[in-house]
């Protein structure tokens, strides 16, 4: 059986704050009401980069332009491809189609949040290696 494959992207602004989405508060989903990176699962024969571009169009109606590959993580029964991009977004201008809300978090603020899918480990690695 093939592993589930997903993609997420770390979007951060010029103040090095990370953009996260608060997942829906539904018992039917894993990690309800927790913070996560934007992304989703590969469909059909799409590549990880095609997946993250599609997911971001679907979730926040944003065309990403140039993005950077970070790492591949094995989390639970899933492979996650992680991308990143520095971009300053006005959250009042972003239409969120999935999840409860978007918010930016500083490195210090991230330490006080509840995360889905080991998102905190990914972010810790990212701060150590990129920012």
Tell me the average confidence (pLDDT) per consecutive run of 10 residues in the chain, 131 residues long: 84 97 92 94 95 97 97 90 97 95 96 89 94 82
- pLDDT value, residue 2: 63
| CATH code where residue 99 lies | 3.90.79.10
- pLDDT value, residue 76: 83
How far is 107 from 81, CA to CA, in rounded Å?
22
61, β-bridge pairs: none
Domain residue limits at 28: 4-129
Residues sharing a CB contact under 8 Å with residue 62, sequence separation 6 or more, in sequence order: 56, 89, 94
How far is 62 from 59, CA to CA, in rounded Å?
8
Joined together, the tokens standing for residue 41 give 């699962």
- How many domains would you assign to the chain? 1
């Amino acid at each position: 059986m093939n592993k589930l494959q997903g993609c997420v992207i770390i979007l951060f602004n010029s103040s090095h704050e990370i953009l996260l989405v608060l997942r829906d508060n539904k018992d039917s989903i894993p990690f309800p009401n927790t913070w996560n990176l934007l992304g989703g699962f590969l469909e059909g024969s799409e590549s990880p980069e095609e997946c993250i571009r599609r997911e971001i169009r679907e979730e926040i109606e944003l065309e990403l332009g140039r993005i950077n590959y970070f790492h591949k993580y094995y989390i639970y029964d899933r492979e996650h491809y992680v991308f990143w991009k520095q971009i300053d977004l006005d959250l009042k201008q972003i239409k969120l189609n999935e999840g409860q809300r978007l918010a930016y978090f500083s490195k210090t603020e991230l330490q006080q949040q509840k995360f889905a899918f080991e998102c905190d480990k990914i972010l810790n690695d990212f701060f150590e290696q990129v920012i």
